[in-house]
Structure 1
Amino acid sequence: MRVFTSLDELAAAVGETIGPGPWQRIEQSRVDLFADATDDHQWIHVDPARAASGPFGGTIAHGYLTLSLLPALAGQLYRVEGIAMGVNYGLNRVRFPAPLRVGTAVRATATIADVSPVSGGVQLVVTVAVETDGGGKPVCVAETISRLYPRTDR
């Protein structure tokens, strides 16, 4: 876990790559819950019998499920101290170069791409790559944007 003790220290780390983090296995139960939450019950995600003879040889996680794991995966890589609030500001770019087969494990690597001032805090841009324990292409590469606001009660 990389701990930044200040926003200045974070800004000095532009270009730094952190990780990879710990592995997290993606099970069918998680994919099924995501399908229920999003009303996306496409058979490649939720029907193991049918998906076994499909293009991926089994069920795969939704791309948006993989994307939704980024805060937790990145949270295992780094932390910025002295922050009162951090908010997701969006994404610049997202790609899913390879399918995430159910039953495999994922982990992330993050590169601090930019830290720039905004009113009351900083905007942090991080490029996150999610890989599987099966190797090959990453299953997700995303450029995330967050806004971090320091505590003012010090």
Structure 2
Amino acid sequence: MYIKTKTFQITPKELGALLTFFYYRRMKFIFILLAILLIINIVFSVLQNRFDWWLIYFVGLGAYFVSLPLFFQPQKRNSTLEFQNRYCEIDENFFAVFYEDGSIVKINYSHFIQVVKKADYYFLYMTKVQFYYLPVAAFESEKDIHRFDLFLQSRQLMKLW
């Protein structure tokens, strides 16, 4: 199997938006739980005609969790290489990224811990926070996408269902 992608690039703003979306999606349960506790606390405070300090704690905690994505600054957390034009070459042994400035990163698949596929992109995780971004649009054909998916599944990096 050999797959070569088209040249692609992601901007810091686009990467920040993706990370923010992932964060809110992952924290959805926490937000719902905080909202329920806040509403219960407000109802009990009104019914008992008293001010409850827990209300301020819940509001502060909720504001902290909601504002956390404002601190996501991908251009400071990632190498400048990640925002350059690049293309990938994928074979059975290595995942290689060729950057516009001539830099090459060649990674054995054993270094990936997980691959997350969404409708428009792949995140190939090397650690819980370090990943490579690969857009689905960079592939030449649907056949290449399907071959890559099957290959990742055979390496137990991604589940197709």
Report the TM-score when normalising by structure 2.
0.22
Instruction: Name which one, 1 or 2, has greater alpha-carbon Rg.
Output: 2
Bigger strand share: 1
Bigger helix share: 2
Report the TM-score when normalising by structure 1.
0.22
